[in-house]
Structure 1
Amino acid sequence: MADPNPVGSATAARPTWGIAADVLAALITLVAIAWALGLPRQLGYSFYPQQFLAAVLMLALPLAFLSLPARRGGARTHVPWYDLLAAAISFAALAWITFRYPQIVNVIFMRAPAAWIPGVVVILLLLEALRRATGWALVIIILVFLAYALFGDMVPGRLQGRAQNWQLLAGYMAVDSNGILGLPLNVAAVVIIAFILFGGLLAATGGSAFFTDAALLGMGRFRGGAMKIAVLASGLFGSISGSAVANVAGTGVITIPMIKRNGYPAHKAAAIEAVASTGGQLMPPVMGAAAFLMAEFLAIPYSSVVLAALVPAVLYYVALFIQADLEAAKLGISGVPKSEMPPRKPVLQGMHFLLAFVLLIWALFWLRWQPERAALLAAVSVVVTSLIFGYRGVRPNIRTLLGSVAGTGHVVVEIILISAGAGLVIGVLNVTGLSFNLTYALVQIGGGNMILLLALSALVCIVLGMGLPTLGVYVLLAALVAPALIEVGIEPIAAHLYVLYFGMMSMITPPIAMAAFAAASIARAPAMATGFAAMRFGWSAYVIPVLFVFSPTLLMIGAPMEVGLAIVTATVGVWLISAALAGYFTSRLTPAMRGLFILFGLMALVPAGAFPGAVYSDIAGVVGGVILMILDFRRSMKMKESESAGD
């Protein structure tokens, strides 16, 4: 994740292009805040929502060319003439669309130059900026879709589409609300910017340090404390970061060396950080920004998405936490040394940061505020309490706080570009009929067999998700795969969460497990060994989505008694399987015991409503699992008694 406070942290004089970039970045944040608060309407001005989105892109696209070098990974020390030219042209084209939108939108289908010329310019420059920000993967996918839109009539079979005139396509994609200026960009510009600002202010005021210190105090003294700290810290910040790889880079540089010093093998240290960071994208309330977009796609309240996603995400982290604990027990790893623990009193002085999260939840679920307004309330709380109380004796200055405004703009540029690119994909699906054709093809291939369709969909999700940021993964899969699952009768929210889970599993599934490989590079561990270890630690994310598809009780859909029973039995099942994979419960498990733990764990995991008679499977799994636990506990006690007698 980029530095959330590039202005406040600058010590040397900024070059002119750097100042221009900071101004553009600050304007992105300020424009988004003004729109979220409804200031234009309160001042008596009326705009199309697409004009606001075009204005945000008008600021973001030039900023990308000023801040991102043509060669990815290189340092930006100066801006060459061609980047200045690209920034100026992109600004001019989008300014034209912003201010002339009411006239342009009416002449799209007339193929008027006023629509298609700026459309061509914006599409080409957007793809180049996207390449600089995310690499070639997403750009190639978008180019394939655009090629399909132009030559879809040449595709044989069921996927044959309607070929589009290139001038009409350019104008439609750049101006219509189903193209670049569509739903993904709206969510990014309105909601995500507010949450990124909240996260940036939290980092600038010491809130991030407080939560890391609190995790260290809370978990550091227990066995495997470093591993548990990584799970907590990465889970907390992964939800907001919007990228599993960025989260690995941001928290992994701290947690992975700590885990290795604690005695874990390097590949396991990297694996658990990768799994914890990836899980942050599945954890409410933000879910790497996918939660907001999911609510829009499904036309349901945001709170419904949060409630549905909560239990699977908690089970994911319960499984990870149990494995961390049992791995530590098996390897004989104790807690973090006292010398590395922060003093308790200064950490407790940061408790005021919790108020922001209390206000966020209160505004979202009790006051029913829009997510962006709730995030802005939390951001104001962070600023006010940090100015009053500070953290560890330090209070932020005004320069630091103002720097966070520009810092937010810098951070969200990539998300804005991805969202605009996603709009191109959705536009092609709408204008060509590909969405319907692909849904039909998947259902036909599945042959009406639910298991086969789910397996095929999971494979497609993992393949399409490789190398893409969270928002790009979700938009692509929500448009391409989720409709096929809904078509065969799967609960819509279950279908969308299913594709999100398997899309995110591409981050830890070899051969292209980007989060796992990023963690491996930090840990200096073998990449493939880290990837396979990450799959083992993240096993629950491959199983739980299948379960909530067959029984939505795990999504808190159903009678309270059924939901409660499903949560309890699933927790027991997760515990049993995690113990089997760790090879340890209260003592090392024999191969036969590990097999029995997995068997009874799977039986307990299956919700009672998954199929007729599943309730008996639940009962057998829980009872059998409890008996296994008691037997292993008694065996462990006998071993300790015999060791004591031997001494």
Structure 2
Amino acid sequence: MDKQQNPQPEELTKEQAELLEKYDAESRFRTFKSKSIAIIVSLLAISLSVYHMYTSYFGTPVTLQHRSLHVAAILALVFLLYPPFKKSSRQTLPWYDFLFTLMAFSTTIYIFIDYVGIVNRGGLPNNLDLLFGGILVVLVLEAARRVTGWGLPVLAILFFLYGLFGRELSGIFRHRGYTWDELVNFMYVTTEGIYGTAIGVSATYIFLFILFGAFLSKSGMGQFFNDMALAIAGQTRGGPAKVAVIASGFLGSINGAAVANVVTTGSFTIPLMKKIGYHRNFAGAVEAAASVGGQILPPIMGAAAFIMAEMLGIPYSQIALAALLPALLFYLGIIVQIHLRATKEGLRGISKENLPQVMAVLKERGHLLIPLFFLLYMLFFSGRTIIYSAFLTILVTIVVAMLRKTTRMSIKDIVEALESGARTAVGVAVACATVGIVVGVATMTGFGLKLANGIVTLGGDSLLLTLIFTMIACIVLGMGLPSIPTYIITATMAAPALISYGIEPLVAHLFVFYFGLFANITPPVALAAFAAAGISGGDQMRTGFVSMKLAIAGFIVPFMFVYNDSLLLINTTFAEGAAVAVTAILGVVMLGTAAEGYLFRSIHWVLRIVLFAGAILFMNPNMVQDIIGLAIILVVVLWQWRKSKKTPETAPGLTA
């Protein structure tokens, strides 16, 4: 396949870039007319990447200094790269953005100069502490507005006001109230506010794995995934849709950028899906659901697994193992519906002569899998730290790419990868800094526990109602936000409600992570689905609802693993785990069949409800329920098979 068919982020077409900017504010960069300013910005981005690679090997400065430097450099990049408004010039740098850049660096310079004094004052700020702390809070909020839109900074401002005036409230959300000085001091000179866990993870795991993704992209890994998916699934029934699922799933796991995946991979896969006969709404929905799901797929999960490990204090390997089966079930549910839709509509795959061969793809780019296998070895078996493993894997990626001319990176490519990694990290880092304000106020006021108590009170004695209210809260909190900050917010605000019910913390955190993530395909603010509709020419809202239908396994499975954590392979033997996997797979196949309403022929709505009920029984591991579910499967399959033999059904018209 020609490389230009699936351009990588650094080589987007004009149309792709415009679409990405429309739905992903993080992509609205300046392109400077002045070469000197452009060089300065590039040097800052490259220096930030080099700094993080250096500290991952040699160690970081003390925590507060390291995190403050990370935030200052990120803020500087925001004010240099992002114009304040959509209509602002993208070719010039106004004086006030240059001033904001200097102010951003002043906040970390002060911490480095007076670190001993800050420690000795022990929470009793002087005027300079408050001055630089106030500057930092304002700069973080303005940077978040430019990069993510109004949603996240408004949320942070509301929490800040809650910290100031919570004493005026009544009921469970009332607290003693804090002064401006107390809030600013907490945000600036402690490691629980802006420089808290969220930015700590950004300054270590997230930045390095985004940088790793940038190097993989430069080596041509995206093209390898696409070509491999085409070679494996392109010729099958509905092949292009299955290609979209495979390629977007793998890419999404590495880079954690749902909207960017939709635009880059979708610009290639969506036209192919439409060409073989899929409706434009369905084609867009396939790409949206697959791109979002990559962030629940091990090994990298868009870096979310590493944050979860940090917050829960458990090994990364335990989280990756627990997340594996639910993620595979999610993708199986999408593929089942894709296949049944293609069968129902009589759609075919791509002709063999137009597809690459598996061995040819492996020969050309198969060596690019070596860094991924090396990363898995480092994370699971080496006993090394995660950031050291990421550092070595980046070096291995550069070396392995040298093995073939088509993937070899020049010095220019390496430098561009360093710059691209820093630019890509800006959006997540700014969101993490802003989330620090939210989490900081929640910590000071006990808001998280109060919200958890409120959810539990609404749910009464019903775990199911509590799960439903938690799901709604997570989807609302996740609308329009990047997935990682969404997880941190939902883990702080919503997960305690489930933990208070006696649910294991890992189970609770995976539950809230799923639903915070699925806000990207849940109308009315379904950014990934809207971006896909922009490519397919479909209706935005309908594409969103079809995305939800395709992702139905992802909406059901979290409820199942709350009720029975065997689905997460927790506290189970190999035999038990295998049995759980088999029954869950059958349940997802039934669920996809019920959602699509087709098996050999169209299924009556009554049988669809029966199938849905049987799927739920199968997905909740229990011997009696498994027997009932198996009986339902056999009855429905035999009934549909006999009807299809008696009265063959003609293919209906295409629908969304």
Closer, same or farther in 2 for the Cα pair 1:431/1:593, shift >3 Å?
A: closer
C-alpha contact (below 8 Å) 1:270/1:525 kept by paired residues: yes
Q: Report what 2:614 is aligned to.
A: 600
After superposition, where does 1:16-55 map in structure 2 within 5 Å?
16-39=36-59, 47-55=61-69
After TM superposition, give the deviation of residue 295 of structure 1 in Å. Answer: 0.8
1:618 to 617, 626, 642: 626
Distance 1:532 1:67 in 2: 35
C-alpha contact (below 8 Å) 1:27/1:59 kept by paired residues: no
C-alpha contact (below 8 Å) 1:498/1:545 kept by paired residues: yes
Q: Report what 1:584 is aligned to.
A: 598
C-alpha contact (below 8 Å) 2:248/2:294 kept by paired residues: yes
Closer, same or farther in 2 for the Cα pair 1:641/1:225, shift >3 Å?
A: closer
Distance 1:289 1:507 in 2: 17
Distance 1:101 1:209 in 2: 47
1:450 to 440, 446, 463: 463
Deviates more, 1:29-38 or 1:470-479: 29-38
AA in 1 matched with 2:632: G
State the Cα deviation string for residues 610-631 of structure 1 (Å, max 9, x = none): xxxxx20122102331443344
Q: Tell me the secondary structure at the aligned position of residue 629 of structure 1.
A: helix
Closer, same or farther in 2 for the Cα pair 1:485/1:400, shift >3 Å?
A: same
Q: Report what 1:144 is aligned to.
A: 158
C-alpha contact (below 8 Å) 1:256/1:522 kept by paired residues: yes
Q: Report what 1:103 is aligned to.
A: 117
Distance 1:303 1:251 in 2: 29
1:532 to 529, 545, 552: 545
Q: Report what 1:312 is aligned to.
A: 326
AA in 2 matched with 1:559: T
The total of aligned residue pairs comes to 626
C-alpha contact (below 8 Å) 2:32/2:91 kept by paired residues: no
State the Cα deviation string for residues 174-215 of structure 1 (Å, max 9, x = none): 120101111111111111122112111111111211111111
C-alpha contact (below 8 Å) 2:341/2:596 kept by paired residues: yes
Deviates more, 1:410-419 or 1:233-242: 233-242
Q: Report what 2:430 is aligned to.
A: 417
Q: Report what 1:611 is aligned to.
A: none
Distance 1:55 1:578 in 2: 49
C-alpha contact (below 8 Å) 2:33/2:91 kept by paired residues: no
1:473 to 474, 486, 496: 486
After superposition, where does 1:265-284 map in structure 2 within 5 Å?
265-284=279-298
C-alpha contact (below 8 Å) 2:34/2:92 kept by paired residues: no
1:377 to 382, 388, 392: 392
Q: Report what 1:243 is aligned to.
A: 257
C-alpha contact (below 8 Å) 2:190/2:196 kept by paired residues: yes
Q: Tell me the secondary structure at the aligned position of residue 342 of structure 1.
A: coil
| Structure 1 residue 331 corresponds to structure 2 residue 339 | no
State the Cα deviation string for residues 106-127 of structure 1 (Å, max 9, x = none): 3363231121111000110111
AA in 1 matched with 2:282: K
AA in 2 matched with 1:378: T
1:563 to 577, 584, 588: 577
After TM superposition, give the deviation of residue 223 of structure 1 in Å. Answer: 1.0
Closer, same or farther in 2 for the Cα pair 1:210/1:380, shift >3 Å?
A: same
Closer, same or farther in 2 for the Cα pair 1:449/1:518, shift >3 Å?
A: same
Distance 1:333 1:585 in 2: 15
TM-score, length-scaled by structure 2: 0.91
AA in 1 matched with 2:597: G
RMSD, aligned CA: 2.4
After TM superposition, give the deviation of residue 372 of structure 1 in Å. Answer: 2.2
AA in 2 matched with 1:451: L
State the Cα deviation string for residues 53-86 of structure 1 (Å, max 9, x = none): 1111121111110001111486621111111111
Q: Report what 2:26 is aligned to.
A: none
AA in 2 matched with 1:452: L
Q: Report what 1:504 is aligned to.
A: 517
Closer, same or farther in 2 for the Cα pair 1:3/1:217, shift >3 Å?
A: closer
Closer, same or farther in 2 for the Cα pair 1:156/1:262, shift >3 Å?
A: same
Q: Report what 1:114 is aligned to.
A: 128
Distance 1:15 1:332 in 2: 55
After TM superposition, give the deviation of residue 379 of structure 1 in Å. Answer: 2.0
State the Cα deviation string for residues 300-358 of structure 1 (Å, max 9, x = none): 11111111111111100010111111111111111124464236565222110111111
Q: Report what 1:484 is aligned to.
A: 497
C-alpha contact (below 8 Å) 1:5/1:404 kept by paired residues: no
C-alpha contact (below 8 Å) 2:230/2:356 kept by paired residues: yes
Q: Tell me the secondary structure at the aligned position of residue 157 of structure 1.
A: coil
After TM superposition, give the deviation of residue 571 of structure 1 in Å. Answer: 0.6
State the Cα deviation string for residues 110-164 of structure 1 (Å, max 9, x = none): 2311211110001101110111110000011100111111111111111002311
After TM superposition, give the deviation of residue 589 of structure 1 in Å. Answer: 2.7
Q: Tell me the secondary structure at the aligned position of residue 290 of structure 2.
A: helix
Q: Tell me the secondary structure at the aligned position of residue 599 of structure 2.
A: coil
Distance 1:340 1:149 in 2: 61
Closer, same or farther in 2 for the Cα pair 1:164/1:89, shift >3 Å?
A: same
Distance 1:55 1:96 in 2: 11
Ranges in structure 1 where 5+ consecutive residues have no aligned partner: 41-46, 609-614
After TM superposition, give the deviation of residue 29 of structure 1 in Å. Answer: 1.1
Distance 2:87 2:285 in 1: 24
After TM superposition, give the deviation of residue 640 of structure 1 in Å. Answer: 6.8
Q: Tell me the secondary structure at the aligned position of residue 389 of structure 1.
A: coil
Closer, same or farther in 2 for the Cα pair 1:269/1:641, shift >3 Å?
A: closer
After TM superposition, give the deviation of residue 586 of structure 1 in Å. Answer: 3.1
